[in-house]
Amino acid sequence: MPDNQSAAHILAEKIDREGPISLSDYMGVANAAYYAAKDPIGEDGDFVTAPEVSQMFGELVGIWLSDLWLRKGSPAHVHYVELGPGRGTLAADALRSMEKFGCKPQIHFVETSPLLKAKQTALHDSAAWHESIDSLPTDAPLMVVANEFFDALPVEQFVSTEDGWRRHMVARDRNKFVAVPGMHAIETPVSKSSAGLPLGTILESSPASVQILGDLSHRIAKQGGAALIIDYGYDRPGTGSTLQAVKDHMPISPFDSPGTSDLTAHVDFHSLSNIAKTRLLSVHGPAEQGQWLKALGIDHRAKKLAEAVPKQAESIRAAHHRLTHVDEMGRLFRVMAATSMDWPEPEGFVYGEN
């Protein structure tokens, strides 16, 4: 994207030239511009992620990975892969924990933002960067972490109208971007499986998420390893739009000033689980983030940290609450793991319920 053109300008020109565009195209352009232009994470940004709340989060991710690695027999050569690693905070905390167990993987980041790459480099100068998962190494097991990665991938929406199912498109009404039903009826599995739903019903999917996890699962099935996905989302198929935008920690319209806010949608863990299973991976969860962290020992870790640094005890307790409580991140966020068949069952999940 040219530096002198905003996402809104690019999108307006495209719509004026071609007519209404798909929601996924709109999200793709808007988020590419957004992440290229700023560091959105932290109190001074637009949102706060779990690794920035407390070191406990990344430490427990590292312990989870180390436990798998140890029970697999401590393979000498493995790769730590993080999708959308933000500032590199999670990786720093996780890798510090892993080193204590003797696990020192090669580090790989899948990142497209030059600004965030620079911040990651400051913490991980030995890492290798990738524009996509296609260039990840093929010579050893992959231990993949994706925290708040899939929620930022583009989604498609389909709306039920009197004339059948239509793809949700983005058009212009004077100087505003608006969502409108497409002109043409669609013949997809969506419409065939959704007879009887009331007019105005919206169904949502993320082909980009399916493609990425499918390709990644194929790699893990072949090379060995595990993927850990942590995001906000839902466990079972549902209806309605989950598209949202956040700016300065406040919700705004997704169609207001594209490229200046974080556009996301809830992750469909049901679909991701099915995709991983079709690639012959063993799927665990999804579990609530709070339950998963507690199963890994966050209560004990918070107590020990508070005892070690009494002056920060209150902030440590607040961080623990934010990460685990059902009214904070504890229930909204889900944790799902997918492991190759020859790797052990991971900790943190209650088996036999999913």
Edge-to-edge strand ranges of the sheet holding 262-264: 250-252, 244-247, 262-264
- Residue 52, pLDDT > 60, answer yes
Task: Pick the more confident residue, 238 or 81.
Answer: 81
Q: How confident is the model at residue 190 (pLDDT cuts 50, 70, 90)?
A: low
**Alpha helices in 72-159, H assignment, sequence order:** 89-100, 114-123
For residue range 243-254, list pLDDT tens digits in order. Answer: 999 998 899 999
Q: Supply the pTM of this predicted model.
A: 0.94
**C-alpha span between 215 and 220 (Å, rounded):** 9
pLDDT for position 354: 40
Q: By the 8 A CB rule, do 11 and 263 touch?
A: no
pLDDT for position 126: 95
- Residue 272, pLDDT > 60, answer yes
- Residue 1, pLDDT > 80, answer no
For residue range 59-74, list pLDDT tens digits in order. Answer: 999 999 999 999 999 9
Tell me what the mean pLDDT of segment 293-318 comes to.
Answer: 96
pLDDT for position 193: 59
3-state DSSP of 218-282:
HHHHHHCEEEEEEEEEECCCCCCCCCEEEECCEEECCCCCCCCCEEECCEEHHHHHHHHHHCCCE
Q: What share of the chain is helix, strand, coil (3-state, %, to 5)?
A: 40, 25, 35
pLDDT for position 195: 64
Instruction: Tell me the pLDDT of the chain averaged across its residues.
Output: 92
